[in-house]
Structure 1
Amino acid sequence: MTDPVLAVTMLGIFILIVFLGFPIAFTLMAMGLGFGYYAYFDADLMWRTLGRLDETAGSLETFSAWLGGFFNNRIFDLFVNQSYTVMSNQILTAVPLFLFMGYMVERANIVDRLFNTLNIAAKRIPGSMGVAALLTCALFATASGIVGAVVTLMGLLALPAMLKARYDTSFASGIICAGGTLGILIPPSIMLIVYGAAASVSVVQLYAAAMFPGLLLAGLYIVYVMGRSILQPSIAPRPAEGEIPDISTPRLVWMLITSFLPLAFLILAVLGSILGGLATPTEAASMGALGGIVLAFVYRAMTWQRLREAVYLTARTTAMVCWLFIGSYIFSSVFSYLGGEKVISEFVQSMNLTPLTFLILAQLIIFLLGWPLEWSEIIIIFVPIFLPLLEIFEVDPIFFGVLVALNLQTSFLTPPMAMSAYYLKGIAPPDVRLVQIFKGCMPFLAMVFITMALVYIFPDLVFYLPEVFYGR
């Protein structure tokens, strides 16, 4: 078996093992070490190690020599070097800080107040409760970037309220699932940090590039909810008289100031310092983490138990991402050394694709991968396979990254592994069926595809802000 064939076999076995349910990070490391041992094996070096034994050597010395010969393989040096590379990556330092900010905001008890305030403020709008839920999801998802936390919290808070207001179950479920995923697209997004590290592109420029597409997608969600509510009033009835209290304008303004402005100010301060060049993403994330703690104190939600939970969840999620990076680096290094990337590159070039058809093919593959895999695994493991092809097809890696970020919204919404649907099902009332949640998610998938088409047709949606802030 030639080395390129072995590389393709390595990739196929990995996909099979992942589908069987084995932990992905450790599967990557095991596959990389196993195939890498063959790839970097040097028989002469092993025999030279054994040749240093004399005839009087005992069994212990012989065993030690064999052991030394076995571990005298460059794959183990690669493992150590790649682990150190991940630990010393300055870009990834922002991940635990943004995660900690999100977990602290989640525990600040600000979201229920924000939803209630927006619900009162938007009560005259068609589908007012759905619009309020989407705005709350978007703001909270942007502050936290943790899809599971947003969907779970909003499912506990907004779903019972919408069902009580006689909203259609599928419609209400789709709103929460779709709104909860916006945090991986709208900056400050952890997903964009991970993509920036994998693709070696500027996270700051990625943030600027993703701003308009993210807001466009959120806007299309709101337009869909309002339009569907007008065309089918039965799925989102207007609130009955007295169902939502009438309050004076000064009191409503005060409610908005105390619920909306603090969180919005935190997000804008973090984003503004990054886009304005006042701070790196890591520095801005550290200030955001401090801001999350301050918000928890201001809203009298800071306890030792909540702080411990936030630290624990931050450490656990960060460890998962970093182990995935280590495994992916080892796997991809061996895969490339065996000639796998060259095989894929030659195969794609032989198809005589245009840049458009290449983008469609790449996004289709990522869309299909989103069914069984989560975004972190797709970004760290599979997206790097496409990166060497971008230069061949003259595709900007930042433009490609924004399309991927949009596409990965679907990985949370498409069965069978629609994680947003499962998060919501876990806390929804018993009579809410999983099929109803899936049905509610489908129209929002159409909004994602429309946004991707608009981004391709009008690329300035991606390039305008990076050019304004940083030049071409």
Structure 2
Amino acid sequence: MSDPAVALLMLGLFICFIFLGFPIAFTLMAMGVGFGFYAYYNPALHFWDNNIFFLMVQNTYSVMSNDVLISIPLFLFMGYIIERSNILEKLFESLQIAMRKIPGSMGVAALVTCALFATATGIVGAVVTLMGLLALPSMLKAGYDKKLSSGIIAAGGTLGILIPPSIMLIVYAATAGVSVVKLYAAALLPGFLLAGLYLIYIVARVIVNPSLAPKRTDSDHVTFWQGFKLLLTAFFPLAFLIVAVLGSILFGLATPSEAAAMGALGGVVLSVAYGAFTWDRLRESVYLTAKTSAMVCWLFVGSWTFSSVFSYLGGEGVIEHFVLSLNLSTVEFLIMAQIIIFILGWPLEWSEIIIIFVPIFLPMLAVFDVDPLLFGLLIAINLQTSFLTPPMAMSAYYLKGVAPPGVELWDIFKGCFPFLGMVLMTLVLVYVYPQIVSYLPDLLYNQPIKADDGPLPEGVIDPSFFMQTN
């Protein structure tokens, strides 16, 4: 067999092992080392002098010393400690009261709570599970339609992988070699657009059919001041923490790693303020952070080893030549890539898709004149569908695991379908109007400095510094 044929065999075997349920990170490393030993084999050298072993060590060191990845465990710790701070119930209740005049107020409050909590934690399963335990029974008890209620929670919980400070965006930035800061700026408008479409759908659906979400009357006695006090103690602290972390990154006041460190400290402070801080919860948060961070890092090590050998054998060139031979336009290439990502989203987690398969497309972006920021955001929006599309809709399964009796899996699937339509609508809008992605990065970071502007004032940091270091 020729080397490119061996590379394609390598890729095919890897996909087979995925479906057989082997651990992905260690499968990547094992296949990278195994096929790499063949690729770099030199009969004149000793067994241990094969270059694949040096490559493995070098990749491991590169991942563990990558400055961009430092922010991942810090953001994870911030999410886990906030998750255990007992803020969710107060947050949901305060938003219900504040929005009680809006049609479908409990649904709107549930979506905003999901979005805010998902943004703070970045952990889809945790958000959907907690909201399924807290909000879904309350909505059903109030007479809300079970399909609408289920769809709101399942869709709202996935927004955390799109809206900054998203861990998924950090992983994509490290994989694609783009600025985390620019990527965060690029993600804001698409994230708010999708969340806005969700909100419009909920309100419009309830206006058209009020029986789906009966109006609450048990909070009519609450005064404005009481509602504001609830928001002051539940909504504003978490919102301020997220805005402070994100704002310090976007405006060049801190690197993502520094902002993540402050966010982790802020999470601990919130936990103490709500009387939820204990050493057991701290230990559990640290353990989960270490476990998840190790998974991401070893995925990077395995993926870089696998892709290095795959490219060395000529596999990447074969795929690129095949795609270019199709004579696709830029739009057709993007659609093809998104269809492949959509299909991969059924059996795989987002981390595996970003680290393993996205690098196959990255070398072709320059050929088709595609901005890596735009490509990354299209993937982030697309991956919303992987959590909501049957038969492998993980958000639906998370929710079903905690749903009250009477809520069937098919009810949750049917509740997700309208939100899937809005994800696809957002994808189309970003395709047609890429300025949705590029506007904020261009506004914040790509403004040319005129010659007569003079040096920056003392103490002001040039944001371009962070474009180079992050």
CA distance in 2, matches of 1:157, 1:319: 30
Identify which of 200, 205, 211 aligns with 2:177: 200
Residue of structure 2 equivalent to 1:294: 269
1:371 lines up with 2:321 in the alignment: no
CA distance in 2, matches of 1:139, 1:31: 40
Residue of structure 2 equivalent to 1:223: 200
The answer to whether the 8 A contact 1:373-1:417 is kept is no
CA deviation digits over 1:387-440, x for unaligned, max 9? 000000000001100111101111111122211111111111232211211111
Shift of 1:125: 1.2
Identify which of 370, 374, 388 aligns with 2:363: 388
1:333 aligns to what SS in structure 2? helix
Residue of structure 1 equivalent to 2:337: 362
Where does 1:107-118 land on structure 2 (aligned, <5 Å)?
A: 107-118=84-95
Residue of structure 1 equivalent to 2:464: none
Residue of structure 2 equivalent to 1:423: 398
- Which amino acid in structure 1 is aligned with residue 28 of structure 2? L
Where does 1:41-80 land on structure 2 (aligned, <5 Å)?
A: 41-45=41-45, 69-80=46-57
Where does 1:280-359 land on structure 2 (aligned, <5 Å)?
A: 280-359=255-334
The answer to whether the 8 A contact 2:245-2:262 is kept is yes
1:271 lines up with 2:280 in the alignment: no
CA distance in 1, matches of 2:272, 2:228: 22
The answer to whether the 8 A contact 2:110-2:153 is kept is yes
The answer to whether the 8 A contact 1:96-1:318 is kept is yes
Shift of 1:235: 2.0
Between 323-332 and 121-130, the greater mean CA deviation after superposition: 121-130
CA distance in 1, matches of 2:181, 2:367: 25
Residue of structure 2 equivalent to 1:138: 115
- Which amino acid in structure 1 is aligned with residue 391 of structure 2? P
CA distance in 2, matches of 1:324, 1:77: 18
2:131 aligns to what SS in structure 1? helix
- Which amino acid in structure 2 is aligned with residue 464 of structure 1? Y
For structure 1, the residue ranges without an aligned partner over 5 or more in a row are 46-68
Shift of 1:245: 4.7
1:397 lines up with 2:372 in the alignment: yes
2:44 aligns to what SS in structure 1? helix
Residue of structure 1 equivalent to 2:30: 30
- Which amino acid in structure 2 is aligned with residue 450 of structure 1? M
CA distance in 1, matches of 2:236, 2:211: 33
CA distance in 1, matches of 2:129, 2:378: 26
Shift of 1:231: 1.8
Shift of 1:167: 1.3
Residue of structure 1 equivalent to 2:467: none
1:120 lines up with 2:97 in the alignment: yes
CA distance in 1, matches of 2:19, 2:213: 39
- Which amino acid in structure 1 is aligned with residue 242 of structure 2? I
1:260 aligns to what SS in structure 2? helix
- Which amino acid in structure 2 is aligned with residue 132 of structure 1? A
Residue of structure 2 equivalent to 1:183: 160
Distance 1:431 1:16, change over 3 A: same
TM-score by length of 2: 0.94
Bigger radius of gyration, 1 or 2? 1
Residue of structure 2 equivalent to 1:11: 11
Identify which of 106, 126, 146 aligns with 1:129: 106
2:102 aligns to what SS in structure 1? coil
The answer to whether the 8 A contact 2:181-2:250 is kept is yes
2:401 aligns to what SS in structure 1? helix
Between 431-440 and 199-208, the greater mean CA deviation after superposition: 431-440
- Which amino acid in structure 1 is aligned with residue 233 of structure 2? T
CA distance in 2, matches of 1:465, 1:446: 26
- Which amino acid in structure 1 is aligned with residue 189 of structure 2? F
Between 459-468 and 379-388, the greater mean CA deviation after superposition: 459-468
Residue of structure 2 equivalent to 1:463: 438
CA distance in 1, matches of 2:22, 2:429: 38
- Which amino acid in structure 2 is aligned with residue 27 of structure 1? T
CA distance in 1, matches of 2:226, 2:142: 24
CA distance in 2, matches of 1:220, 1:235: 18
CA deviation digits over 1:97-133, x for unaligned, max 9? 0000011111111111010011111122111111000
The answer to whether the 8 A contact 2:144-2:213 is kept is yes
CA distance in 2, matches of 1:289, 1:248: 35
RMSD: 1.0
The answer to whether the 8 A contact 1:95-1:190 is kept is yes
1:83 lines up with 2:28 in the alignment: no
Residues paired across the two proteins, number:
447
The answer to whether the 8 A contact 2:114-2:131 is kept is yes
CA distance in 2, matches of 1:99, 1:437: 28
Residue of structure 1 equivalent to 2:141: 164
The answer to whether the 8 A contact 2:98-2:228 is kept is no
Residue of structure 2 equivalent to 1:151: 128
Residue of structure 2 equivalent to 1:454: 429
The answer to whether the 8 A contact 1:29-1:328 is kept is yes
The answer to whether the 8 A contact 1:155-1:427 is kept is yes
TM-score by length of 1: 0.93
CA deviation digits over 1:269-304, x for unaligned, max 9? 101100000100000000000000000011111011
CA distance in 2, matches of 1:426, 1:312: 24
The answer to whether the 8 A contact 2:96-2:106 is kept is yes
1:260 lines up with 2:235 in the alignment: yes
CA distance in 2, matches of 1:169, 1:323: 40
- Which amino acid in structure 1 is aligned with residue 42 of structure 2? D
The answer to whether the 8 A contact 1:425-1:432 is kept is yes
Hey, which bits of structure 1, 4+ residues long, moved more than 6 A? Answer: none
Shift of 1:265: 0.6
Residue of structure 2 equivalent to 1:56: none
Shift of 1:246: 2.0
1:13 aligns to what SS in structure 2? helix
- Which amino acid in structure 2 is aligned with residue 201 of structure 1? V
2:406 aligns to what SS in structure 1? coil
- Which amino acid in structure 2 is aligned with residue 4 of structure 1? P
CA distance in 1, matches of 2:29, 2:401: 32
CA distance in 2, matches of 1:377, 1:437: 25
Shift of 1:236: 1.8
